[in-house]
Amino acid sequence: MNPVNLDRIHDLMQNGLYSGCVAIIKNEEVGEATLNHLSEKARQWYRSVRVFNLDKESPEQLLLCDSELVVVHGFEQCSSQRPETYAARSALENRRYKGLFAILCLNREAFRHHFCNPAHPFYHFCGEIEEGQISDLIDGG
């Protein structure tokens, strides 16, 4: 697959290809530099952007968040079986129905754990793209 840039990903999300949500799979932990770069780039496309830590913030905050785009991280520290994880999935689904957008950032191990097991709430929740396929995603954690 040819690399795409973040502008193209935002364009595809807004035009329905990713159903308003895409998971970016990194080779290592998602760091502050990556989150800052994603949110900076997203501000060119969305009226409002919020970074949301799934491990430290309640799903109710995600449900009440009216930012046009949320960049969600923290999957690595979350158990897929805890009630908060199910609530976060429901909140993201609710946002999708409202026409709002989400980028989920997680490492490969967390992706396999949360998105590839039919017994877990995020199973096949959204499309995904590997960090190596994004031409302007900065490294640095």
Q: How many domains does one find in the chain? A: 1
Inside any domain, residue 11: yes
Question: What local confidence, expressed as pLDDT, does residue 30 receive?
Answer: 87
Question: What local confidence, expressed as pLDDT, does residue 92 receive?
Answer: 95
Contacts of 5 (CB under 8 A, 6+ apart): 134, 135, 136
Contact 49, 67 (CB under 8 A): yes
CA dihedral angle for residue 57, residue 61, residue 62, residue 68, rounded to 10 degrees: -120
Inside any domain, residue 141: no
Question: What local confidence, expressed as pLDDT, does residue 16 receive?
Answer: 80
Q: Which pTM value belongs to this model?
A: 0.91
Contacts of 141 (CB under 8 A, 6+ apart): 28, 29, 30, 31, 32, 33, 34
What span, in angstroms and rounded, lies between the C-alpha atoms of 72 and 103? Answer: 6
For 127, list phi and psi in degrees, rounded to 5: -70, 165
CATH code of the domain containing 39: 3.40.50.300
Within the chain, which residues score under 50 in pLDDT? 140-141
Question: What local confidence, expressed as pLDDT, does residue 1 receive?
Answer: 63
Residue 123 is part of which domain span? 6-133
Inside any domain, residue 123: yes
Query: What is the chain's alpha carbon radius of gyration, rounded to the nearest angstrom?
Result: 14
Inside any domain, residue 1: no
Question: What local confidence, expressed as pLDDT, does residue 141 receive?
Answer: 46
Inside any domain, residue 53: yes
